[in-house]
Amino acid sequence: MFGNRPESLGKTEHSVSSGRSLFSTQNPLKPIMSKKKDQEKFNAYAINTNDAWEIDDRAMTLRILDKNDTNNTDDNDDSGLTSPKQKAEDILLTNAQQQKSTNARRSNVSTNSSSTTHSGLGRRLGDPSNAKISVPYRFTNNSNSSITKNAKSNILDVDQQKENKFKQIFDQSTVDLNDLRKASWNGIPKPYRPQAWKLLCGYLPPKTERREDTLSRKRDEYWSYVDQYYHTRTDSEHQDTFRQIHIDIPRMTPLMPIFQQILVQQLFERILFIWAIRHPASGYVQGINDLVTPFFVVFLSEFVENDADIENFPVDSLSESDRRLIEADSYWATSYLLEGIQDNYTFAQPGIQYKIRALEELIKRIDEPLYRHLKNQNIEFLQFSFRWMNNLLMRELPIRCTIRLWDTYLAEQDGFSQFHLYICAAFLIRFSKSLLRERDFQGLLLFLQNLPTHSWTSNDISILTAEAYQLKIYLKLFLYQSAMSAVENKQKLIQQLRTEANIDRIKLSTACKDLIKFCQDHENGDVLVIGWEKFDSDNPYKDKNKCVPL
C-alpha cells in the first residue's frame, strides 16, 4: 500500500521547523486550524450538522447535497438536467433496492436478514452477515477467494496459539503489561478480552492478589457517585444535560434490539450523566454516548454464553448485582478513554478541529491525486471526517470490527488520541481507487457516507492497523529527514557567518539561538530528537551516530 511512500513523502520544498508537533512547519504546511477562516468554517459546519450523528444518514446526506446544489445553481439552468439532490435520492434508492435484494438472498442462509447496510453503528450491527465473530477471515470480490479446509485449519491453529499466549500471560501472578500490549496489538481472543481491556485501561491492577479489592473499591465508588449525583438530573442546572442524554440514547443504535431495552437505556443514562457531572469542562456532548457501547458489549460478554446472541440478549435475565458490575466497569473504562481525548468535546471541540486539519495535510502528502480529486469536487474533509473523529469510526464499521480496532487502540500508546489519525488516513486511502472513479460531488459524498464495510472482519482491521502503523513510521522517517536537513542548513549558516571577514555577531548569535531552540523544541516531541541521546522506540534512526551534534 505504501510501497512508494518514501519518494512521495520526500517531495517538499521546505524543511520542518521548530515549534509545533507532527504537521506544524515553518512554510509548507499551514498551522493546524490557526486561521480564523478555518474556525469559522468549523463553527458553520457544527451548526449546519447539529445532531448529524443521530439523524438518519440518508437525511443527513441529502441535507448536505441540497446545500451544495443551492450554492452551485446556475442562472442558465437547464430544466432537463437532474439536480444533485434528485440524483442523490435516485442513487440512495437504487442502493437500498440492491441491498434489499442482497438481504433477500442471504435469507436463504439466515432468517435474520432484515437490516440494511448503510453506514451507521445500529445498521451495521443488525446485518446478519456480521453475526459470527470468533473465526476471522477476509471477504473479497475474488471468485477464487473461498477458504479451503486447510486454510480454515491454519486460521484455527493461529487462534489457538494466540489463546495459549494470552493464557500464559494471565497465568502469571503479576501480568507483564508490556507483554500484554504486544500480544493485544494484533487482536485479543474473546475469552480474554474483558480482563485484558480492564488491565490496559489501568482499571485492573497487574497483580492478581490486588484485583478483587481494587474492583470492589472502584465499583463501590461509582455507585456512590450515582447516589450522590443522579437524583440531581432534574435540577434546573442539570436538566438540559440529562434531557439531551435521554433523547440520544434510544436512537444511537436503533436496529440493535439490546439497546432498545429500558434497563440498558437507563444504564447508559446513569453512566453518561455521572461522567458529565464529574467533567464540567466538557460536560455531555453528542457522540460520547456511542463510546460507551464497545465497553458495555465486551463487559457484558463475561456474563453471556459464548454462543449467545448479544445483540438480542435479554439483559433483565441477569441478576441486579451482575448488571451493577457491568455498569460500573463500563463507566471507568469510558472515563479512561475520554481522559485522553477530552479536547474533542470541550468548547469548540479543538481536538477534532486539529485532527481534521492534520488528516487533510497527511492525505495531501501521501495520496496527492486523491487529495486533488476531493478538492476539485469541492469536498471538504470536515464533511465526512468530523464523524470519524467524533465517533472514532464507530459509524463506519460493524461493532465487531470496532471492538477489534479498540484492541489495538488500547495496546497502542495514545491509541485513541494519536494513532486514530493514522487509522483514518489508512481507512480513506483504502477506498482511494473507488473515490477517484466518482466524478462529481454527490457521488463522492454518497460514497463517503456509505462506505462498503458491512462485510469487514477482524482480518480487515488487522490489515488496516498494519497499514496505519506503516504510515506512522514513514511519516516519522520523513519528518526526521526533514529536521536533519533543517539542522544542516542552520549549521551551514552559522559556519558561513563565522568565516566572514567582518563577523556580524548579532546575526551569528541569532542563528545559534535558532539552532538551539530548534533542537530543544524537538527534544520532547514523539517524532524527533536531534542532538540528544533520546529516541522514540519507533524511530528508524536509533543509532546515535545518525544525530547531528550541536
Q: Is the pLDDT at 140 greater than 80, yes or no? A: no
Cα 118 to Cα 319, 449, 480, distances in angstroms: 35, 8, 41
Confidence of residue 148 (pLDDT cuts 50, 70, 90): low
**CA-based nearest residue to 359, from 343, 345, 339, 374:** 374
Confidence of residue 105 (pLDDT cuts 50, 70, 90): very low
- Segment 431-463, tens digit of pLDDT: 999 999 999 999 999 999 999 999 999 999 999
SS3 state of residue 391: coil
Q: Is the pLDDT at 75 greater than 90, yes or no? A: no
Q: The cell 433523547 sits on which residue?
A: 247
Confidence of residue 118 (pLDDT cuts 50, 70, 90): very low
Are residues 467 and 150 in contact, defined by beta-carbon separation less than 8 angstroms? Answer: no
Confidence of residue 505 (pLDDT cuts 50, 70, 90): confident
Confidence of residue 214 (pLDDT cuts 50, 70, 90): very high
Q: The cell 451548526 sits on which residue?
A: 47
Handedness of CA 9, 13, 18, 21 (dihedral sign): negative
Least confident of 171-180, 408-417, 491-500: 491-500
Q: Which residues pair with residue 15 across a beta bridge? A: none
Mean pLDDT of 86-107: 50
C-alpha cell at 393: 469510526
Q: How many CB atoms lie within 10 A of CB 71?
A: 8
C-alpha cell at 95: 442502493
**CA-based nearest residue to 321, from 215, 197, 231, 232:** 215
More confident site: 479 or 525: 479
pTM for this model (two decimals): 0.68
Q: What is the distance between the alpha carbons of residues 135 and 400, in angstroms, rounded to a whole number? A: 12
Share of the chain above pLDDT 90, in %: 52
Q: The cell 471541540 sits on which residue?
A: 349
Confidence of residue 475 (pLDDT cuts 50, 70, 90): confident
Least confident of 135-144, 421-430, 500-509: 135-144
Share of the chain above pLDDT 70, in %: 66
**Tell me, what's the pLDDT at 115?**
39
Residue 187 region, left (φ>0) first, then alpha (ψ -120 to 50), else beta? left
Q: What is the distance between the alpha carbons of residues 532 and 519, in angstroms, rounded to a whole number? A: 9
Helix ranges (DSSP H) in 144-192 = 149-170, 177-184
**Tell me, what's the pLDDT at 238?**
94
Contacts of residues 16-19 at CB distance under 8 Å and 24 or more positions apart, as own/partner, are 16/479, 16/482, 16/483, 16/486, 16/528, 17/486, 17/518, 18/514, 18/517, 18/518, 18/520, 18/521, 18/522, 19/521
Least confident of 198-207, 276-285, 394-403, 469-478: 469-478
**Tell me, what's the pLDDT at 153?**
61
Distance of CA 102 to the CA centre of its chain: 29
Mean pLDDT of 158-170: 92
C-alpha cell at 473: 513510521
Q: Is the pLDDT at 261 greater than 70, yes or no? A: yes
**CA-based nearest residue to 229, from 237, 210, 120:** 237
Are residues 350 and 343 in contact, defined by beta-carbon separation less than 8 angstroms? Answer: yes
**Tell me, what's the pLDDT at 22?**
38
- Segment 289-342, tens digit of pLDDT: 999 999 999 999 999 987 678 889 999 999 999 999 999 999 999 999 999 999
Confidence of residue 493 (pLDDT cuts 50, 70, 90): confident
Are residues 393 and 427 in contact, defined by beta-carbon separation less than 8 angstroms? Answer: yes
Q: Which residues contact 34 (CB under 8 A, 6 or more apart)?
A: none
Burial class (CB in 10 A: 0-12, 13-18, 19+), 262: exposed
Are residues 423 and 393 in contact, defined by beta-carbon separation less than 8 angstroms? Answer: yes
How many Cα neighbours within 13 Å face the side chain of 519?
19
**Tell me, what's the pLDDT at 66?**
55
Q: What is the distance between the alpha carbons of residues 58 and 478, in angstroms, rounded to a whole number? A: 40
Considering the chain, what is the average pLDDT of its residues?
Answer: 76
Q: What is the distance between the alpha carbons of residues 357 and 47, in angstroms, rounded to a whole number? A: 19
Cα 323 to Cα 199, 296, 381, 524, distances in angstroms: 20, 10, 41, 44
Mean pLDDT of 49-67: 48
Helices 381-390 and 420-430 meet at what angle, rounded to 10?
130
**CA-based nearest residue to 43, from 285, 386, 378:** 386
For Cα atoms 261, 264, 269, give the angle at the middle one, nearest 5 degrees: 125
What's the length of the chain?
A: 550
Confidence of residue 255 (pLDDT cuts 50, 70, 90): confident
Q: Is the pLDDT at 288 greater than 90, yes or no? A: yes
Q: What is the distance between the alpha carbons of residues 531 and 523, in angstroms, rounded to a whole number? A: 8
Burial 320-331 (b: 16+ CB within 10 A, else e): eeebbbbbbbbb
- Segment 186-202, tens digit of pLDDT: 999 999 999 999 999 99
Q: Is the pLDDT at 471 greater than 60, yes or no? A: yes
Handedness of CA 157, 170, 177, 390 (dihedral sign): positive
Confidence of residue 176 (pLDDT cuts 50, 70, 90): very high
Are residues 351 and 344 in contact, defined by beta-carbon separation less than 8 angstroms? Answer: yes
For Cα atoms 465, 409, 127, give the angle at the middle one, nearest 5 degrees: 70
Q: What is the distance between the alpha carbons of residues 243 and 448, in angstroms, rounded to a whole number? A: 31
